[in-house]
Amino acid sequence: MTEDTASLLYLDGICVSFDGFKALNNLSLLLAPGEMRAVIGPNGAGKTTMMDVITGKTRPDEGRAIFGEATDLTKLDEPSIAALGIGRKFQKPTVFEPHTVRDNLLLALASDRRARFTMFARETSEEADRIAEILTTIRLVEQSARRAGDLSHGQKQWLEIGMLIAQDPALLLVDEPVAGMTDAETEQTAELLREINRTRAVVVVEHDMDFVRALGVKVTVLHEGSVLSEGSLDHVSNDPRVIEVYLGR
C-alpha cells in the first residue's frame, strides 16, 4: 500500500487460529472512506471472525488492522475501538431485552460512557430529538415504549441497526442483518443500509444473494480465511474459483 492511498480500514495479513485451525489465513482487505462493502462466503469462511478482529474481541496471531491514519486496532480493547467510531451489529440480534426500545437507543447514543457521568446524566433535548429521528429511520416509532425483548425478530434487527446509528460511528460492521427476515423486511433493510451509507462506511456480511444484489456494491468473497475474489457481484459470480467453491459444496 502506498502512503498516499486514503483508506478507512486496512486489514494487512491477518492470521487467526483456534487450536491450530486457521480461521483467518493471511487476510488482507482495503476499505475506502464512505464505502459500502458486502462480504460473502460459505459457512465457516471466517466472516464473523474478521469482525471479531476489527472490534477487538479476538486478537490476531499475525497482521495489523489499520483504522484511519495509523491506528492499529489489534492493540486496543473493545470499548476503545467503539470509542474510535466502529459500531457492530451481531449475527444473532442482541438488544437489551428488559429495556424499552427508546432506552436501548439512549444507551447507544454517542456521549460520555463513564460511570461518573451516567450516574447523574439527564436526557437532553438534543438526545430526545436524535432518538425520535432514529426511531423514524428504523420504523419503530410506535414501538418506542415497548420492552425490546417483546419485539419481533425483524424489529430487533432494526433496533440493533438503530443502536448502531445512534453510536454515530464512522464505520459500521453488520453481520447477517436479514437472516430470518421476510422479503419485505429484507428490502426495507437494504434501503436502510443504503441510507446509512450516505454518511458512513459500512461492511455487510450476508448470505442472501438477492439482498447483496439489492445493495449494489463491491463484493468480497471469503473462503477458508482469505480473500478468494473481489469485484462487482456479476464479476465474482462469474469467477470460476468462486463457482467451484459454491458448487463444490
Partner 1 sequence: MTRGATRVAYALIIGIAVLIAGLNLALPETSALHPSTFVMSLTGKYLSYAILALSVDLVWGFAGILSLGHAAFFALGGYAMGMYLMRQIGGRGVYGNAVLPDFMVFLNYKSLPWYWHGFDMGGFAILMAILVPGLIALIFGWLTFRSRVSGVYLSIITQALTYALLLAFFRNDMGFGGNNGLTDFKDMFGLKLQSDAVRAGLLVATAIILCLQLALAQFVVRSRFGKVLIAVRDTESRTRFLGYRPESYKLVVWVLSAMMAGIGGALYVPQVGIINPGEFAPGNSIEAVIWVAVGGRGTLIGPIIGAVIVNLGKTWFTAILPEYWLYALGALFVLVTIFLPNGILGLLRARRSGKAEARAVAP
CA dist., res. 206 & res. 176, Å (int): 5
Minimum CB–partner distance for residue 132 and ligand ATP (Å)? 34
CA dist., res. 75 & res. 80, Å (int): 10
Which of 80-109 are b and which e, b meaning 16 or more Cβ less than 10 Å from the residue's Cβ? ebbebbbbbbbeebebbeeebbbbbbbebb
- Assess 120 for contact with partner 1 (CB under 8 A): yes
- Assess 117 for contact with ligand ATP (CB under 6 A): no
Which of 133-161 are b and which e, b meaning 16 or more Cβ less than 10 Å from the residue's Cβ? ebbebbebeebeeebbeebeebbbbbbbb
- Residue nearer to partner 1 on the CB measure, 104 or 237: 104
- Residue nearer to partner 1 on the CB measure, 127 or 224: 127
Would you call 68 exposed, middle or buried from its count of C-beta atoms within 10 A (0-12, 13-18, 19+)?
middle
* Residue 7 main-chain phi, psi, to 5 deg: -135, 150
- Assess 45 for contact with ligand ATP (CB under 6 A): yes
Residue 204's DSSP bridge partners are 38, 174
151 interacts with, out of Mg ion, partner 1, ligand ATP, none, CB within 5 to 8 A per kind: none
CB of 90 closer than 8 Å to CB of 165: no
Q: Provide the mask over 46-85, with x wherever binding to ligand ATP is found by CB under 6 A and - wherever it is not.
A: xxxx------------------------------------
Minimum CB–partner distance for residue 125 and ligand ATP (Å)? 41
Minimum CB–partner distance for residue 162 and ligand ATP (Å)? 23
- Assess 18 for contact with ligand ATP (CB under 6 A): yes
Q: Which stretch binds ligand ATP (CB under 6 A): 42-50, 124-132, 140-148, 233-241?
A: 42-50
Residues 13-72 that bind Mg ion (CB under 5 A): 47-48
Strands 9-18 and 21-31: antiparallel
| Of the candidate residues 6, 70, 115, 247, the single one contacting partner 1 (CB under 8 A) | 115
Minimum CB–partner distance for residue 118 and partner 1 (Å)? 4
Task: List residues binding ligand ATP (CB under 6 A).
Answer: 18, 23, 41, 43-49, 91
